[in-house]
Amino acid sequence: MKKTPILSTIGWRECVALPDFDLPEIRAKIDTGAGSSSIHATRIHYFHQGDREMVRFQVHPHQYNIHDTVTLEAPLIEHRHIKSSNGQKQLRPVIETHIQLGEHRWLIELNLTNRSLMGYRMLLGRQALRKRFLVDVSQSFLQSQPDHHPRP
């Protein structure tokens, strides 16, 4: 008989860290309907560092706050067609980075897009969650405690 691994349970929203970028907290919506994960990114700029194609972009890590801005750089993995929430396909840059949720830390792919009209700066999709977590949609912040960043 095959053993089923015991998975940690997370809520429909959690606070995650992106340690590769020294970002200790971003509120993320957990979305099992989305295949991929995305982060709100603006001012996306491509450049070369040696023979690597890189991407520089800005994020607003605190929900409802457009004044706190952080500029980040990462190697570009590829451009990928991603279906947005309105059903339109968009060509988006994709990077890899480590994510931390509670005691769990792992590598994810993250596509960069403008999420200014969305409630959350980051979306965690199925690829990032698969074989790691169960989602309890009636709960929030089961693996994390949000710092409170007041609305401006």
Give the model confidence (pLDDT) of 1-30 as tens digits. 777 678 999 999 999 999 999 999 999 999
pLDDT at position 151? 46
- Residue 63: partners with Cβ closer than 8 Å, 6 or more residues away: 27, 119, 120, 121, 149
Percent of the chain with pLDDT over 70: 95
Pair of tokens at residue 129: 């969650």
Gap between the Cα atoms of 101 and 106, Å rounded: 9
Question: What is the separation of C-alpha 142 from the centre of its chain, rounded to a whole number of angstroms?
Answer: 17
pTM across the whole model: 0.88
Question: What is the separation of C-alpha 94 from the centre of its chain, rounded to a whole number of angstroms?
Answer: 11
**Residue 128: what are its φ and ψ, rounded to 5°?**
-75, -25
pLDDT (tens digit, 9 = 90+) per residue, 86-118? 778 989 999 999 999 999 999 999 999 988 767
Segments in 10-75 forming alpha helices (H): none
pLDDT at position 152? 42
pLDDT at position 133? 95
List, in sequence order, every residue forming a beta bridge with 29; answer none if it has no partner.
Answer: 13, 123
Length in residues, the chain: 152
On average, the pLDDT of the chain sits at 90
Superfamily per CATH, domain 9-136:
Acid Proteases (2.40.70.10)
